[in-house]
Amino acid sequence: MAIAERTGEMRRLDEVFAASRSAGGTVFVVEGPAGTGKTKLIHEFGERVVAAGATFLCATASRAERGFPLSAVGQLFGGPALRTRQLEEAERLLAEGAAAAPRPDPRRPPPASAADGAAVPAEVLRGLSALLLSAADRAPLVIAVDDVHHADPASLQFLHYFVRRAGAAPVLLVLTECVRAAPPHPLLHAELLRGPRVHRRRLRTLTRDGVADVLAERFDPLTVRRLVAECHRATGGNPLLVHALVEDHRTSGGAQPAELVFGEAFRRAVLTCLHRCEAVPYARGLAVLPPCASRPGPGDLVGLDAQAAALTGEVLAATGLTAGPGAGFREAVRAAVLGGMRADRRRTLQLRAAELLHRAGAPAAEVADRLVAADRVPGPWALAVLREASGPLSIAAGRPETIARLRLAVRGRPEGAEGAAVLFDLARAEWQADPERAVRHLPELTAALRAGHLPAHAACRLTAWAVWLGRVDDARELDGAGPAPGMAERRLALAFPGLVPRGAAPVPVDGDTVIGTFAELLTRPALREDDHKAAVAHIEHILGEGVSAPWARAPIAAMTALVALDEVERAEQWCDSLERSDTDRPPLMAALYHVVRALIRGRRGDLTGVVERVRDAFGLVPPGGFGVFAGIPLGALVEALVARGEHAEAGRWLDRPLPDATLHGPFVLPFLRARGTHHLAVGRAATAAAEFRLCGHLMRTWGCDLPGFVPWRTDLARAHLAVGDAEPAARLVREELRRLPDGRARTRAAALRVLAAAVPEERARALADAARAAERAGDRLELARILADLAACHRTERPRRARELARRAGALAAECGAAGIGGDAEPAAGPLGVPASGDGDPFTELSDAERRVASLAADGWTNRQIAKRLHVTTSTVEQHLTRVYRKLNINRRTDLPLDLAGLPPRDYLA
């Protein structure tokens, strides 16, 4: 297979070879950056000239053998070109020449002039030349010396002598030379490569098309198109690096890669290029300290003068390792360079870079990053830099670089108040990434607080942390250490009403906490009574304050409370607004927003969305980091998994331990409900009923009996129905309905559906009311369940209607990701409510606008959602539906046929 983008070079070699057969001794130099295919080119050329009847001799010079005279050219005298007697003569001459020539030190730079460093006796040079010229008498002779820049001076002296003595003999000398940062030996450029019969050809790195040709040898065309741009950018078109990436993919075991794999082959290829172009010291400096005009550069770090540093930068750019002279490494190349260093040397270089930058007045963050990489705090100045680089924790907390800097500062062992302040800063930074990790510092911080090494107001934050993680004893130990004695007990009483003695009323606590705010909202009279508007207004007041306070935690509780009030659209609007105003959130805050989004998705019946959002939250912060609040996301996740029929997975999540204090506060209620739902789904109705009764007991005891938060009466009624006990089920659900204020449409829909099952004589009416409530709430999963029950209700008397409802329920359930709802029964001969005419489209009387509105309404969209989707007013939607009902001879929304002719496919969750 042809070498990519080397056709022109091969053609030129063929031309020079043809000319050398008559012109005599000719030199062809192939030069180029490391890894560009010089060696492969001359070996392929050797195969071609051998096929043409020439004799091909090849030698490879080595830096390791540069100190041995005639070591490079000695390789030419062991091939089939010489007879036995000639080989013996060559061996004698080589030994004599090596003994006479001085042995150079390969560690020293080359001599200043060609006259220095090589003194092979003339008779040796003459004898060796004669032996090779005798081979040229029999056939054209092609001699290749790879990496001639590494050849020892005696070998260079011989090659120079041989070319001059070749005369008209058909001899071609092909040399390869690597573009390097080190200066060449004067014998090479000043003597050997001078003259009219010296030809040069420089190899370049591959173009994007050349990279595509290499990739096409391994991947299909679609994969090549997907990878070629990134591969060319990452390798600079260096063929050695491109082939290394292909090899890394092969060893990774993938069939067709979605992205590039930077593995061991790539790392080795990068280091090989650096060694070949003799740029290792500068490359290490560049990996640690990228160039910048306003500060010391990599040359300063490794002790190179400006000229040498500039030359090396040009060599790296020509090799494709950087984007250009003066540019830094690409990330994958930088990682390979750093990975090729011994750990102790890498840390030493990082520390030297930190000191150099600090003396030059570089920004604290740049100095701190090198200190972290060096894992050293060399003095008080370093501790000050680390703290300064950590920035204001109101912005930087939770970021990995902030945590790394503060951890290193703590390991610097500052003492007294400074040590306590650094540890407190570290805990604050870690808290926003993983509260469980941060709270490990709580005992030491408590001791520092009592010793007066921390300000008294730090007690409030430490107490809030202990409460969040349910560490009651730790919170009580902090009581009295802060500015307000009894503060810890008040926080505990509000968050964990189960710990408060009967008859004691918890005192509200000021502060921006999720736990306290949510507990206060749950026990607020406006939420428990009929004043729905007052409750919403109070919650939105909290949210309004949160817009101007980035990272505020109280809005998380407020949005959760809005969802509990079935104000899903309001909650989503606030979530959108707050996320737009606070885009640079730390992991903990981002995870809490995911939880709110999951609750919103759950109220709309989007089970897949719930599972994805909760798993995203747990991906940012482990479940243990949510402390007692974990009951809410775990409850939502388990409910969704049960509805999807994934009972085993739900059981695994239920087995996760929660802090003991969780059982004494309202955050356990969604978890208990989810556990009961799981028991009910797997046939353990009695156990489920016990869980639901426990929810009811706790909610009544704690003064937060909110059906929108946990509708325990409806759930307990479902458990009674599972064992055929309809009377207590009806009593429970009627009480639930009596307690529901206006505006709780979703909770009302679920309760009416259970009432329909408990009271057969009220079944049709209750289900119709439930369907309307579910539509108002926008809960497609609940609507699917109601439609499935309606289908069962009509199965005997109205089978066509039952089949249509079952199909609609199944379609909605499928889009929600739910299992075991509805079915795929065959449709009736004509759409429900429309006379079956046998021919034609029964919906021809509907206008295009009416068709669009009817289709969305049939799929469970609310009027407000349809208006938003079609960019019209809610009044327009209502008018269209009125005309649709009249034209189709139906009375209500649930009578709409599932399949409306000529409309686009359904998109329930868009």
Q: What is the pLDDT of residues 784-826, one digit of tens each?
A: 999 999 888 888 888 888 888 888 888 889 989 998 887 644 3
The C-alpha atoms of residue 180 and residue 178 are separated, in whole angstroms, by 6
Q: What is the pLDDT of residues 638-670, one digit of tens each?
A: 999 999 999 999 999 999 989 999 999 899 999
| Contact (Cβ atoms closer than 8 angstroms) between residue 783 and residue 774 | yes
- Cα 148 from chain centre: 46
Quick one: which of 873, 881, 816 has its CA closest to 852?
881
| Contact (Cβ atoms closer than 8 angstroms) between residue 448 and residue 422 | no
First vs last C-alpha separation in the chain: 51
Q: Regarding beta strands 171-178 and 141-146, do their DSSP bridges make them parallel or antiparallel, or are they unpaired? A: parallel
Of 200-214, 255-269, 317-331, the one with minimum mean pLDDT is 255-269
| Contact (Cβ atoms closer than 8 angstroms) between residue 549 and residue 512 | yes
| Contact (Cβ atoms closer than 8 angstroms) between residue 238 and residue 323 | no
Please list the residues that pair with 329 across neighbouring strands: 322
Residue 375 token pair? 């894992």
Neighbours of 903 (CB within 10 A): 17
Neighbours of 859 (CB within 10 A): 21
Q: What is the pLDDT of residues 22-53, one digit of tens each?
A: 877 889 999 999 999 999 999 999 999 999 99
Percent of the chain with pLDDT over 70: 87
What is the average per-residue pLDDT within 357-377? 94
Please list the residues that pair with 146 across neighbouring strands: 60
Cα angle for residues 204, 209, 213 (degrees, 5° grid): 95
The C-alpha atoms of residue 330 and residue 365 are separated, in whole angstroms, by 21
The C-alpha atoms of residue 564 and residue 543 are separated, in whole angstroms, by 15
- pTM score of the predicted model: 0.76
Of 511-520, 846-855, 879-888, the one with minimum mean pLDDT is 511-520
Q: What is the pLDDT of residues 472-530, one digit of tens each?
A: 999 888 877 766 677 788 888 888 888 876 555 545 545 546 776 777 677 655 455 55
User: 295 pLDDT exceeds 90?
Assistant: no
Contacts of 457 by beta carbon, 8 Å cutoff, 6+ apart: 482, 483
Quick one: which of 321, 236, 312, 326 has its CA closest to 272?
321
For residue 258, the one-letter residue type is A
Q: What is the pLDDT of residues 79-135, one digit of tens each?
A: 677 888 888 898 999 999 989 888 766 555 555 444 444 578 999 999 999 999 998
The C-alpha atoms of residue 561 and residue 518 are separated, in whole angstroms, by 7
| Contact (Cβ atoms closer than 8 angstroms) between residue 120 and residue 157 | yes
| Contact (Cβ atoms closer than 8 angstroms) between residue 174 and residue 3 | no
Contacts of 486 by beta carbon, 8 Å cutoff, 6+ apart: 479
User: What string of H, E and C letters represents the secondary structure of 643-680?
Assistant: HCCCHHHHHHHHCCCCCHHHHHCCCHHHHHHHHHHHHH
The H or E element containing residue 178 is: strand 171-178
